[in-house]
Amino acid sequence: MALMDFIKEQFIDIIQWTETDNVTLAWRFPMADMEIQNGASLTVRESQLALFVDEGRVADQFAPGMHRLTTNTLPILTYLKNWDKLFQSPFKSDVYFFSTRQQLDRKWGTPQPITIRDKDFGAVRVRAFGNYAYRIQDPKKFHTEVSGTREIYRVDELDGQLRGIILQGIADAVARSGVPFLDLAANQVDFARLLQAEMLKAVEPLGLVIESFTVQSISLPDELQKVLDQKIGMGMIGNDMGRFLQYQTGQAIPEMAKNSGGGGVAGDAMGLGAGVAIGQQMAQALTQGLNQGNQGGQGNPAGQGNPGGQGNPSGQPGQPGQGGQPLAPGAAAAGQPAETVRPDEVMATIERLHELQTKGVLTADEFNAKKAELLKKLV
């Protein structure tokens, strides 16, 4: 009895694969030194395919279901082994199972920006990422081209190759489509379809099929994104130079308002003038400044009437002890120019700030902050 049990153990009656993980694509049934019994049962579950390989040659393929292994169900193997119709003896072949489930949420992305040719921007570098899903469609191709005689072939061993195909396909898809970058970024679904079509052609020889493909983001490197933002801003204002100057002023003044501390009223006016100089506001400020200067210089072209003073054609206040204006409170020590805080200058500056706020160049918070800072100088 023990001898009969030993003999039975040398033959395989049931061949099946129960998947125990989510990462195995191909698995070879363990044959050891055993042979397959004629009439044995082969069970192929849904989401699986089975392949018989005899002496290195791919023979019969089995779809999901339970199969009795006879000459009727093994026609190619019968031909290869020259079996007659009365075949009864055990035989030995390698049996491979393949998972045909979708391999979901496989990540892809561009480790480095990819250079593409764009009809709007010329050559640009883009970054993108997303995910995709694939499955084995043709186990014979996959066996001969990818997994081979390996006992186990896993998903992560294939990921690098597929990501490389995707990255290569990005440049080809963009070139063939002729779609500008801005349109690609706004139509990621269409771009994903283009890439999926490229992927389908590339993976078909491997026995794979791409079931889904998504593009979750398309972007430019930071330095190029800044250039694009400026181009978008220019596009919004068109060829109107006045609107462009307002746009530039609006970009510059908030920073000036933050960084203008310690310069006094004159410094504040100069800081604001730098932002407004390219517009009409600077012209008005310069005109007012010249008029005030001319008024201050009248009647004293060479500093006459200021004892010990030198010529002062610009009309600026004289030095202390020379008949000029007295030093303002808090002025610098001797030898340092002092700033005269004039209420009319402060009020004129506040009025100009209010005009900028009315035009939308300054926000209400920026105006109020600057107004408070200027009023403090009168105290």
Check if the beta carbon of residue 351 is closer than 8 Å to that of residue 341.
Answer: no
CA count, 13 A, side-chain hemisphere, 342: 11
pLDDT of residue 261: 53
Greater confidence (285 vs 142) lies with 142
Residue of higher predicted confidence among 211 and 271: 211
- Per-residue pLDDT at 8 exceeds 60: no
Residue that has been written with the tokens 């919004």 in this structure: 236
- Give yes or no for residue 3 having a pLDDT over 50: no
**Calpha distance 128→123 (Å, rounded):** 16
Using CB atoms within 10 A of its CB, is residue 31 exposed (0-12), middle (13-18) or buried (19+)?
A: middle
Q: Is the pTM of the predicted complex or chain greater than 0.75? A: no
Confidence band of 365 (pLDDT split at 50, 70, 90):
confident
Q: Where are the alpha helices (DSSP H) in the chain?
A: 2-9, 75-81, 139-142, 156-177, 181-186, 188-203, 222-237, 241-259, 264-276, 280-297, 343-358, 364-376
For the cut 50, the answer to whether the pLDDT of residue 329 exceeds it is: no
Q: What is the pLDDT of residue 127?
A: 87
**Which band of pLDDT confidence, cut at 50, 70 and 90, is reported for residue 106?**
very high
What distances in angstroms separate CA 127 from CA 20, 116, 216, 217, 218, one per listed residue? 37, 10, 11, 8, 6
Q: Is the distance from CB of 251 to CB of 243 less than 8 angstroms?
A: no
27-64 pLDDT per residue, tens: 999 988 899 999 999 999 999 999 999 988 999 999 99
Indicate if the pLDDT at residue 282 is higher than 50. no
141 has pLDDT over 90: yes
Provide mean pLDDT across the span 242-269.
Answer: 56
Tens-place pLDDT, residues 55-90: 889 999 999 999 999 988 999 999 888 887 677 889
